[in-house]
A and B are shown apart, each in its own frame.
Chain A
Amino acid sequence: MGGMHSISRRAFIVGATAVAGGVAFGTYGDAAQASAAADANPLQAGLGPNSVSFNPWVEISPEKITLIAQHADIGQGVGSVQPIMIAEEMDLDPGQFEIRFAGPSPVYFNTGFADELAPFVAADQSPAAEQARAVALESLRKSGLQMTGGSSTIPDTYEKLRVAGAVARETLKAAAAKRSGVAVADLRTRSGHVILPDGTKVPYVELSAEAAKIPPVLDAKPRDPSQWRILGKPMTRLDVRSKVMGELQFGIDLKMDGMLFASVKLNPNKGQPLKSYDARKARSMPGVRKILKVKNGVAVIATNSWYAMQAVAAIDCKWAPSTYPAEQAGHWKILEASFKPEFLGKQWRNIGDVEAGLKSGTFVEAEYRAPYVGHQPLEPLNGVAVVSDGGMEIWVGHQSPQAVQSIAAAAIGIKPEQVTFHNQWTGGSFGHRLEFANIGVLAEIANQMRGTPIKLVFSREEDFRQDIPRQISLARHKGSFEKGKILAANLQSASTPPFKELLGRMGAPSKDPDGQLAACLWNVYYDIPNYRATSYEAQGLSPCTTWRSVGASSAGFFTESFIDELIHAAGRDPIQARIEMCSVPTYRKVIETVAEMSNWKGPLGNGRGRGVAFVESFGTPVAEVVEVTVTDSGIRIDKVWVAVDVGKIIDPVNFENQVQGGVVWGLGHAMNCELTYAGGAVQQTNFNHHEAMRMYQCPVIEVRGLENDPKVRGVGEPPVPPAAPALANAIFAATGKRIREMPFNKFIDFV
């Protein structure tokens, strides 16, 4: 077990900073201090003798080279691509370095959120938009917020990690030049060595002590992509082999000397405390060591996770009731009544004369619904922690290291800097590991078991009950068309606000409208002369949070279904009309590409149908065509074509895997999943109730990546939002039936 060392982090201060016109967001620590700390290298404190660190991402000792992954690996492959971006510039080969996840530090603040936080749509590259993004970036720097999410890893790290590698390479060359007396210009680097003109190879690790004594070469420039050896070409993810061999250790696999196992039963009325409990039966069950009360439930400490789970299930608990409606119907009722001025989030866009446009054209209106959905990565919530007099050490996979410190610390009355956090490889997240259901309670348990390492593992049922779901959302869209063209659109949604609620739980509440509820409502790039987009934020409902693709996961379905309805009513071809209406040339190219890939030639007939959808989310435009066949046993999804523009494809194989996975995620949940409340608790508690997609429903998915966007974009989430509307539009094309509510299996059977 690693030693408890104090880290130079300040407390997570409650507060919010307004950024460039109304985006709010938490501040970590005093702004000026954070800004200064953002330049410090946290690796310096932990360096051994004769070791060197040029920046927060590279550490070289006489024994080994360690590259730091600042973004959490949640299966999206960033535990591989981050170090590879550094290795590309350092001329290191896979196998010549170790990977370590970053500890909490403001130096790892996420620059990649700047575009999403600035109040301009992604395609707007105007000076005003770029200036707002620069302001947002400075605010992020001041905040020091280190967070993985929003498909931002590549946008955040593409420049800075290649620069970090270039600085390391040039500094190692400078050290070799000093030692050998050869001019730097005559030195080369290859495979972890500096190579002298006479062919002598000096391993980087031999230069660590000397490199530590010279100033780092800070003006080193990353290479032009045309010179890349690894990036941009098919490469093997560094974690593939160890995952296939079953050797990679996930957080849930950790073992420590003297460790005991815990499992919990927490109030399924989310956010409410335990009233009383009766643990008589559990006490005498096998393997049970201790029964503990925690703030919102009970925990059993046992000699094996299974004993702990069995015993905790046998505890009879009385819970404080929910503050949201106990029954699901009450949730929809509140949502239906939320289209009122007092619940206004924001009118995000208003151009032309919407009322006049709606009156003069042929009128179309429709209502759409998206339910609560669970994240449920396959690795259940877990964590290992030990509390001693000096503080707490915690090993857990999480996307917000600083928030883990502050929430764990608050749970047991210590300071955030007394919490030492070790990030872990995780078995998926999809937004689940941005939340804290396992963090505070693990701290409470470990604090009651001081000195003993505790591994907490949630049962799947408990994980479902404590999963803060995706927002519930309802849209009332109105529009009109005239002479085959869309004349007006008035898009309105009422929803629970996912990002705002996440910030609230992180201790940084925001009063500003949730920008995630503008996604796919205002960033719609069709040439519609009269257009209005308005979000309403429902109150008094279940807590909600970010779920892979966040606001766009529901609003993408609403908007692209409604656009399809308008296009159909206007008598136009859905893909041709979208191409004609699309006002951004690079985005139009994405739709044209998917039309070409699918060889789109209008209706298929004979019980077959195709649907298309186009959504930009997190700056990445994605177009998808779904093809379905009506069979005796239901709708079969035959094939999906996807075109995506990310500006630059860094890791082409993983890119394809991410896109395919995003489509599976989008389709599977749209078809088969919802979480509903009864008696204040979710009714779906295992995968048989919330199945998403299994192999037998999975279509062939053909992917093409484009590189026309002026910026480098992420791809973890953007393939999700178009999947549901493309499927619904395909079902309409095949059957004439419009499905306006997820999950679709409530209205139609699938194979």
Chain B
Amino acid sequence: MIELTVNGIKNKVDVDPAMPLLWALRDELGLTSPKFGCGVAQCGACTVHIDGRAVRSCQAHVGEVAGKSVVTMEGLPNRDAHPVLLAWIEHQVPQCGYCQTGQIMQAISLLELIPKPSDEEINEVMSGNLCRCGTYPRIRAAIHAAAAKMAEK
């Protein structure tokens, strides 16, 4: 049994410690906002926060995550009023939407590190998150809008 703290709740999972966190979240704990896209850290759809940093959950093994704090979109603090999520809705970023929870978790992490990112800084940090529908122009706009909103406070 491995103890996983996810969204503030302690869970016990009986899995191979080598199992990627993504699959423990999805198939064992029923948290489906982290998505399976590639399995090899090429798409970012599985991005979650571990101890406050954006991490590809397909690369973090369950055994290594024990004792750390995992946050998925389901448990994101202030989710319904989060400025990044509101900007995503305002700019109507999603098309199919499959990559978007990962994009948002990455963008939140970006704005914590760089509160007012330039286009170049956005490109740098967000290029690991693939969007097959091509919503990049709107992702860029939503990040700038969220940054402006967060600066007001």
Whether A380 pairs with B40 at a CB distance below 8 angstroms is no
Contact residues, A648-704 vs B (CB, 8 A):
653-654, 657-658, 660-665, 668, 686-688, 692-696, 698, 700-701
Measured CA separation A379–B101 after assembly (Å)? 13
CB of A426 within 8 Å of the partner chain: yes
Whether A77 pairs with B85 at a CB distance below 8 angstroms is no
Whether B35 pairs with A305 at a CB distance below 8 angstroms is no
Whether A75 pairs with B97 at a CB distance below 8 angstroms is yes
Q: Which of B94, B127, B137 contacts A243 (CB 8 A)?
A: B94
Interface flags, B95-130, vs A, CB<8A=1, else 0: 111111100100000000000000000111011111
Measured CA separation A460–B40 after assembly (Å)? 9
CB of B15 within 8 Å of the partner chain: yes
CB of B9 within 8 Å of the partner chain: no
| Beta-carbon nearest neighbor of A243 in chain B | B97
Q: Which of B36, B130, B139 contacts A252 (CB 8 A)?
A: B36
Measured CA separation A653–B89 after assembly (Å)? 12
CB of A224 within 8 Å of the partner chain: no
| Beta-carbon nearest neighbor of B138 in chain A | A657
Q: Which of A244, A376, A665 contacts B94 (CB 8 A)?
A: A244
CB of B79 within 8 Å of the partner chain: yes
CB of A586 within 8 Å of the partner chain: no
Whether B101 pairs with A246 at a CB distance below 8 angstroms is yes
Whether A658 pairs with B92 at a CB distance below 8 angstroms is no
| Beta-carbon nearest neighbor of B134 in chain A | A664
Contact residues, B128-143 vs A (CB, 8 A):
128-140
Binds B, one of A28-36, A233-241, A414-422: A233-241
Whether A304 pairs with B19 at a CB distance below 8 angstroms is yes
CB of A286 within 8 Å of the partner chain: yes
CB of B93 within 8 Å of the partner chain: yes
Q: How far is the CB of A605 from chain B (nearest CB, A)?
A: 25
B136 CB contacts on chain A under 8 angstroms: 664, 693-695, 698
Q: Chain A interface residue count: which class?
A: 35 or more
Q: How far is the CB of A131 from chain B (nearest CB, A)?
A: 37
Measured CA separation A275–B108 after assembly (Å)? 50
CB of B63 within 8 Å of the partner chain: no
CB of A229 within 8 Å of the partner chain: no
Measured CA separation A74–B95 after assembly (Å)? 8
B28 CB contacts on chain A under 8 angstroms: 304
Whether B94 pairs with A460 at a CB distance below 8 angstroms is no
Whether B42 pairs with A700 at a CB distance below 8 angstroms is no
CB of A277 within 8 Å of the partner chain: no
Q: How far is the CB of A139 from chain B (nearest CB, A)?
A: 32
| Beta-carbon nearest neighbor of B74 in chain A | A246
Q: Say yes or no: A379-B39 contact (C-beta < 8 A), given A237-B92, A305-B26, A694-B127.
A: no
Q: Which of A426, A665, A700 contacts B96 (CB 8 A)?
A: A426
Q: Which of B37, B100, B138 contacts A660 (CB 8 A)?
A: B138
CB of B45 within 8 Å of the partner chain: yes
Whether B73 pairs with A246 at a CB distance below 8 angstroms is yes
Interface flags, B1-26, vs A, CB<8A=1, else 0: 00000000000000110011011001
Q: How far is the CB of B33 from chain A (nearest CB, A)?
A: 3
Whether A687 pairs with B133 at a CB distance below 8 angstroms is no
Whether A306 pairs with B96 at a CB distance below 8 angstroms is no
Measured CA separation A88–B101 after assembly (Å)? 30
A668 CB contacts on chain B under 8 angstroms: 134
Whether B19 pairs with A661 at a CB distance below 8 angstroms is no
| Beta-carbon nearest neighbor of B96 in chain A | A75
Measured CA separation A663–B98 after assembly (Å)? 19
Q: Say yes or no: A304-B38 contact (C-beta < 8 A), given A240-B92, A693-B134.
A: no
What is the number of residues of chain B that contact chain A, defined by CB distance less than 8 Å?
58
A243 CB contacts on chain B under 8 angstroms: 94, 97, 100
Whether B132 pairs with A378 at a CB distance below 8 angstroms is yes
Q: How far is the CB of A720 from chain B (nearest CB, A)?
A: 10
Measured CA separation A612–B92 after assembly (Å)? 29
Q: Say yes or no: A379-B135 contact (C-beta < 8 A), given A239-B97, A657-B95, A696-B124.
A: no
Measured CA separation A304–B37 after assembly (Å)? 16
CB of A618 within 8 Å of the partner chain: no
Measured CA separation A694–B45 after assembly (Å)? 13
Measured CA separation A621–B27 after assembly (Å)? 46
A695 CB contacts on chain B under 8 angstroms: 122-123, 126-127, 129, 136, 139-140
Measured CA separation A665–B94 after assembly (Å)? 15
Q: How far is the CB of B24 from chain A (nearest CB, A)?
A: 8
CB of B43 within 8 Å of the partner chain: yes
Whether B32 pairs with A249 at a CB distance below 8 angstroms is yes
CB of A377 within 8 Å of the partner chain: yes
A658 CB contacts on chain B under 8 angstroms: 95
Whether A306 pairs with B23 at a CB distance below 8 angstroms is yes
Q: Which of B73, B92, B137 contacts A245 (CB 8 A)?
A: B73
Whether A380 pairs with B37 at a CB distance below 8 angstroms is yes
Contact residues, B72-96 vs A (CB, 8 A):
72-74, 79-80, 85, 88-89, 92-96
| Beta-carbon nearest neighbor of B105 in chain A | A246
| Beta-carbon nearest neighbor of A661 in chain B | B134
Whether B92 pairs with A378 at a CB distance below 8 angstroms is no
Whether A696 pairs with B89 at a CB distance below 8 angstroms is no
Measured CA separation A241–B94 after assembly (Å)? 9
Counting chain A CB atoms within 10 Å of each CB, the highest count among B16, B92, B97 belongs to B97
Q: Which of A246, A379, A661 contacts B72 (CB 8 A)?
A: A246
CB of A451 within 8 Å of the partner chain: no
Contact residues, A393-432 vs B (CB, 8 A):
426-428, 430
| Beta-carbon nearest neighbor of A651 in chain B | B92
Q: Say yes or no: A694-B130 contact (C-beta < 8 A), given A255-B30, A657-B135.
A: yes
Whether A305 pairs with B27 at a CB distance below 8 angstroms is yes
Q: Which of A430, A696, A698 contacts B137 (CB 8 A)?
A: A698
| Beta-carbon nearest neighbor of A719 in chain B | B134
A75 CB contacts on chain B under 8 angstroms: 95-98, 133
Whether B15 pairs with A304 at a CB distance below 8 angstroms is yes
Whether B32 pairs with A379 at a CB distance below 8 angstroms is no
Q: How far is the CB of B35 from chain A (nearest CB, A)?
A: 7
Whether A696 pairs with B97 at a CB distance below 8 angstroms is no
Interface flags, A356-380, vs B, CB<8A=1, else 0: 0000000000000000000011111
B126 CB contacts on chain A under 8 angstroms: 695
Whether A253 pairs with B134 at a CB distance below 8 angstroms is no
| Beta-carbon nearest neighbor of A659 in chain B | B134
CB of A248 within 8 Å of the partner chain: yes
Q: Which of B40, B85, B97, B135 contacts A427 (CB 8 A)?
A: B97
Measured CA separation A380–B58 after assembly (Å)? 15
Whether B96 pairs with A379 at a CB distance below 8 angstroms is yes
A686 CB contacts on chain B under 8 angstroms: 38-40, 42
| Beta-carbon nearest neighbor of B84 in chain A | A244
Whether A376 pairs with B27 at a CB distance below 8 angstroms is no
Whether A236 pairs with B130 at a CB distance below 8 angstroms is no
A286 CB contacts on chain B under 8 angstroms: 15-16
A701 CB contacts on chain B under 8 angstroms: 137
Whether A661 pairs with B95 at a CB distance below 8 angstroms is yes
Q: How far is the CB of B73 from chain A (nearest CB, A)?
A: 3
B40 CB contacts on chain A under 8 angstroms: 460, 686, 688
CB of A459 within 8 Å of the partner chain: yes
Known contacts A245-B85, A668-B134; can you find 14 more A-B pairs with CB under 8 A? A74-B96, A243-B100, A304-B23, A305-B26, A660-B137, A661-B95, A664-B136, A686-B39, A687-B43, A695-B126, A695-B129, A696-B123, A698-B136, A698-B137
Query: Can you give 17 A-B contacts (C-beta < 8 A)?
Result: A75-B133, A239-B97, A240-B93, A240-B94, A240-B97, A244-B94, A244-B100, A249-B32, A250-B98, A305-B23, A378-B45, A379-B35, A662-B134, A668-B134, A695-B140, A696-B123, A698-B134
Q: Which residues of chain A have a CB within 8 Å of any CB of chain B?
A: 74-77, 236-237, 239-241, 243-250, 252-253, 255, 261, 286-287, 303-307, 309, 376-380, 426-428, 430, 457, 459-461, 653-654, 657-658, 660-665, 668, 686-688, 692-696, 698, 700-701
